[in-house]
Amino acid sequence: MAAKYKRASYRVFAIVGDGELQEGLVWESAMSAAHYKLDNLIILLDHNSLQIDGSNDQVMSLGDVTAKFKAFGFDCQQVDGHNIEAITTAIRSVQANGRPKFIDCITRKGCGVSFMEDHFEWHGKAPNDKELARAISELGGACNG
């Protein structure tokens, strides 16, 4: 809001996780952003469908997140969150049209590490030395869609 009030040309980025979307503060902020026409705001969602206690659907289903942001008045896009070029293109394509932006970056937790990928248990757990060496070795390859 300060940037809009000052007529500053910079944009504001917020990177959020899908587990965070279960918090009321996120939706209050989204409602405010749309109300105040903060088209300088871009929210990027790390949407891997997992959180510390399990899948989002097990803990508390988020439903169609993109539809919710659209209903709040955001311009919305969905991209492969492992594709930096797709994310960059999405950010560059936003228009100053009075609507805040939401980019749903579909990701996989632990992408590229076979024993971590899509396992919520690694959310707050550090690998031991052997696991770390294996993970670093596996990360030499690209994460495929």
Domains and CATH numbers, the chain: 2-107 (3.40.50.970)
Going residue by residue through the chain, which has 145 residues, state the pLDDT in tens, using 9 for 90 and above: 999 899 998 999 999 999 899 999 999 999 999 999 999 999 999 999 888 887 888 888 899 999 999 999 999 999 999 999 999 999 999 888 999 999 999 999 999 999 999 999 888 899 999 998 899 899 985 555 4
> Are the CB atoms for 111 and 84 separated by under 8 Å?
no
CA-based nearest residue to 101, from 14, 30, 12, 41? 41
Who contacts 25 (Cβ-Cβ below 8 Å, separation ≥6)? none
Q: What is the pTM of this model?
A: 0.88
Radius of gyration (Cα) for the chain, nearest Å?
A: 17
Separation between Cα atoms, residue 3 and residue 18, nearest integer Å: 26
